[in-house]
Structure 1
Amino acid sequence: MKKQQRQEDIVKTLRASREPVSGTALSEIFEVSRQSIVQDIALLKAAHYNIISTNKGYIIVDPPPREKIFKVYHSHEEIGDELYTIVDAGGFVKDVFIIHEIYGKIQVNLFLATRADVDAFVAGLEEKKTSPLMKLTDKFHYHTVEAVSDSILRGVEKSLQEKGYLITTG
Structure 2
Amino acid sequence: MSGEERRGKIIQALKNSDKAVSATTLAKEFDVSRQVIVQDVALLRANGKNIFSTNRGYLIQEDEETTRVFKVQHEDDEVEKELTTIVDLGGTVEDVFVYHKVYGVLRAEMNIKSRMDIRNYMEEIRSGKSSLLKNVTSGYHYHTVRAERVEILDMIQEELQKKGLLAKLQDYEPVDFWGQNNYNE
Fold match (TM-score > 0.5): yes
CA apart distance, 1:77: 0.9
CA RMSD of aligned residues (A): 2.5
Q: Give 1:151's aligned residue.
A: 151
Q: Secondary structure at the match of 2:141?
A: strand
Tell me the SS of whatever aligns to 1:130: coil
Instruction: Quote the residue 1:9 is aligned against.
Output: none
Q: Structure 1's 62 and 129: CA in aligned 2 closer, same or farther, altered over 3 A?
A: same
Name the CA distance, whole Å, in 2 between partners of 1:16 and 1:77: 39
* TM-score after normalising by structure 2: 0.59
Cα–Cα, structure 1 residues 95 and 164, in superposed 2: closer, same or farther, change >3 Å?
Answer: same
AA at the equivalent of 1:95: D
Gaps of 5+ in 1: 1-13, 21-49, 53-58
CA deviation map 1:127-147 (0-9, x unaligned):
244111100000000000010
Report the structure, 1 or 2, having the larger helix content: 1
Match of 1:139 in 2: 139
Deviations 1:57-80 (A, max 9, x none): xx9963111110000000011111
Q: Does 1:122 align with 2:122?
A: yes
Instruction: Tell me the TM-score normalised to structure 1 length.
Output: 0.64
How high is the sequence identity, in percent, across the aligned residues?
A: 36
Amino acid at match of 1:145: V
Quote the residue 1:164 is aligned against. 164
CA deviations on 1:27-53 (whole Å, 9 max, x unpaired) are xxxxxxxxxxxxxxxxxxxxxxx8x9x
Considering only CA atoms, is the larger Rg found in Structure 1 or Structure 2? Answer: 2
Q: Which runs of 5+ in 2 are unaligned?
A: 1-13, 21-48, 52-58, 170-184
Q: Which consecutive segments of 4 or more residues in structure 1 shift more than 3 A?
A: 14-20, 59-62
Structure 1 residues 64 and 125: alpha-carbon distance in aligned structure 2, compared to 1, 3 A threshold: same
Q: Which amino acid aligns with 1:110?
A: M
Q: Is the 8 A contact 1:86 1:93 kept in 2?
A: yes
Paired residues, what number?
121
Q: 1:108 to 1:101 in 2, by over 3 A?
A: same
The residue type equivalent to 1:79 in the other structure is V
